[in-house]
Amino acid sequence: MQMKIEKQSVRVKIKTESSIVKGTVHTLVDSRLSDYITSHKNRFVPVTDAEVYYIDRNKEVRSEDRVRREIVFINVEKIEMIEYL
């Protein structure tokens, strides 16, 4: 018997000190994004279909250096801001 946990896809933008990541996180259905993030304390959050924009020393986003990745893992302790898209 296979057990499956139902999840929902949530589009987000996550800012860290060195980058901005736009992508999808997969949370439990009807759960809050903040609860999902805090449940990963001292861990990494997977972000799928990610676009990564790097931030330079002047705190400017270098959009010309944007990269796309199937999945990236973000250290929860490095997240400065997260918002829904």
CB 23 within 8 A of CB 48: yes
Per-residue pLDDT of the chain (85 residues; tens, 9 = 90+): 678 888 899 999 999 999 999 999 999 888 888 888 888 777 999 999 999 999 888 877 877 778 999 999 999 999 999 999 9
Tell me the residue type at 2.
Q
Residue 78 is predicted with a pLDDT of: 93
Residue 45 is predicted with a pLDDT of: 93
Residue 20 is predicted with a pLDDT of: 95
Class of domain 7-84: mainly beta
Beta bridge partners of 63: none
Instruction: Please count the helices (runs of H) and the strands (runs of E) in the chain.
Output: 1, 5
> Would you say the pTM of this structure is higher than 0.75?
yes
Count of CB atoms situated within 10 Å of the CB of 72: 20
